[in-house]
Structure 1
Amino acid sequence: MSVNENVEGLSINFATVRQGGSFGAIVDACLRHGITAISPWREHVEAAGLGEAARIVRDNGLRVSGHCRGGFFPAADEAGRRAAIDANKRAVDEAAALGAACLVLVVGGLPAGSRDLPGARAMVAEGMAELLPYARAAGVPLAIEPLHPSYAADRACINTLKQALDLADTLGKGVGVAIDVYHVWWDPDLETQIARAGRNGQILAYHICDWLVPTKDPLNDRGMMGDGVIDLKRFRALIEAAGFHGPQEVEIFSHHWGARPLDEVLATCVERFRAVC
């Protein structure tokens, strides 16, 4: 593609291009490849300074498809749970300043020393209920991201789209879901739950990558689109039939792609987005 030929419908999650360095450097690289939608991580915003990050977004007319990440509500004691709420309020403030479409929540797993999975899920519901009025006042939707069951213990005790939507329904206005193909492609109830989310306007973000066979590391061996077994065109059709037409956000945690030059990664993202997504 020619430089500066805009790629409509594609967003880059900064997890895919952490090797690119600073917030500004990653944005410059995205713009070189015609990518005008991004989803930054809090570490990049913190390093740049919130005011500077917001200025970069504004001056370049960028769309922020999501802000990563909030969550991690369960904790072993009340002090830990209070600290999580405070951290999430700061994340809401950042998302608002950036004009992000949502704050993505990786809700958290078992507190240290715990085996009480239902109790962890209850802490998530309680924490989100406390955070929600603050997020509503800031105009920031909260997007629950269900993670693959392999992450239930340490990262997210919400593991299916149905669980996420049940919680969103309980909490009400201002809560939806971030649907990541890596985490939910295997779910036999997927089609029904995507349609359900669409009926209620609850799809806030859509993340793409691929599932490699074999997967050598469940966290850092995600595939580039087209290199694995997920039927991404069918998945997109389900998402769009449910009414979501926002950016497809490439989020690839990968030792392989993280070691490749930034421009190579972005060029490949654009090529595969056009060919297989």
Structure 2
Amino acid sequence: MNVPRPAPASRPAPVPRLSLNRWSVRTTPVDEVLAACVGGGVGGIGLWRQDVETTGLAELRHRVDDAGLQVTSLCRGGFFTAADPADRRAALEDNRRAIDEAVGLGTDVLVLVVGGLSHEDKDLAAARDRVAENIAQLAPHAEQAGVRLAIEPMHPIFTADRGVVSTTAQALDIAEQVGSDAVGAIVDTYHVWWDPDLAASIARAGASGRLLGYQVCDWILPLAAETLNSRGYMGDGFIDFPAITRMIAETGYTGPIEVEIFHEDVWATPVADAVRTIRERFEQLVLPSA
């Protein structure tokens, strides 16, 4: 006797272009995050390599596919600034693995956080040169894999420890120096909203085909003790999302838009509530200008 299967639970239609970066809800298990996306009308997810490590590449891909979600990016590769040859070789090998993981997850965007300085080596220009040299070493592997390397400029406050590339123009300079179509920049409002040359740099990225992604969250005050965790829901801080989103739209970019928030209060919020707020703010402040 055949027992009929129950009808699948209804799910809201995904909000166009909305993707949830997994680190917005980093303390929630990945299965709960996927379920919250399905139930909250989010069609895309930006994954992190920590989930690959804990879940396994094939299993994580299976769970994402089963949820019907699109993986919009993988974070992160990078950390290219070490001068020691052994450290440099290790970084390149890790980044090649990251490229392969992106392929396994079905995304063609690997986000690169390029790395900072050390107390022993404070030569900022040399560190940026090493970033370009190491990305050039990776580019052939990325091209062969069909993965694009998205350099993420970071706010200057993070130059020492995380990102010696501070502006979209600097990221594009490196991409053009490398000379590979697989290398470009990702625009994260948290890191670049302050840049007086942002409009020209975004237009340059679009014209050169090197605008590889768009991420949004707000800059809020007071800054947290861990400054990186001072990101907030769109509308809670100081960033003009309609203005920056129009800059992105004017390039012809029609790809996913990831919401990437790092904040202890957001991580402590029940995941369904956080996703609901993210969706509401996205529909109010980002999507109308996209």
Task: Give the deviation of 1:171 after TM superposition.
Answer: 1.2
Picking from 49, 62, 66, the partner of 1:59 is 66
Q: What amino acid does structure 2 have at the position aligned with 1:12?
A: L
Q: Determine whether 1:195 maps to 2:203.
A: yes
Q: Secondary structure at the match of 2:27?
A: helix
Task: Give the deviation of 1:193 after TM superposition.
Answer: 0.6
* CA distance in 1: counterparts of 2:195 and 2:28, whole angstroms: 34
TM-score, length-scaled by structure 1: 0.96
**Match of residue 131 from structure 2:** 124
* CA distance in 1: counterparts of 2:177 and 2:81, whole angstroms: 18
**Match of residue 7 from structure 1:** 15
* CA distance in 1: counterparts of 2:51 and 2:262, whole angstroms: 16
Q: Determine whether 1:84 maps to 2:99.
A: no
Report % sequence identity.
48
* CA distance in 1: counterparts of 2:143 and 2:258, whole angstroms: 24
TM-score, length-scaled by structure 2: 0.91
Write out per-residue CA displacement over residues 216-273 of structure 1, whole angstroms, 9 at most, x where no aligned residue.
3421111110111111011111101011111110000111111111111101001111
Contact 1:19 1:262 in 2 (8 A): no
Contact 1:111 1:120 in 2 (8 A): no
Contact 1:76 1:112 in 2 (8 A): no
* CA distance in 2: counterparts of 1:119 and 1:28, whole angstroms: 45
Contact 1:74 1:111 in 2 (8 A): no
Write out per-residue CA displacement over residues 21-75 of structure 1, whole angstroms, 9 at most, x where no aligned residue.
1x32211121111111000000012111000111223333322111000000111
Task: Give the deviation of 1:126 after TM superposition.
Answer: 1.1
**Match of residue 169 from structure 2:** 162
Picking from 72, 75, 82, the partner of 2:82 is 75
**Match of residue 260 from structure 1:** 269
* CA distance in 2: counterparts of 1:27 and 1:112, whole angstroms: 40
Contact 2:48 2:76 in 1 (8 A): yes
Q: Secondary structure at the match of 1:28?
A: helix
Unaligned runs of 5+ in 2: 1-9
Q: Secondary structure at the match of 1:40?
A: strand
Q: What amino acid does structure 1 have at the position aligned with 2:50?
A: E
**Match of residue 229 from structure 1:** 238
Contact 2:221 2:230 in 1 (8 A): no
**Match of residue 249 from structure 1:** 258
* CA distance in 2: counterparts of 1:265 and 1:37, whole angstroms: 15
| Paired residues, number | 275
**Match of residue 190 from structure 2:** 182
* CA distance in 1: counterparts of 2:90 and 2:273, whole angstroms: 39
* CA distance in 1: counterparts of 2:83 and 2:251, whole angstroms: 39
Large movers: runs of 4+ above 6 Å:
none
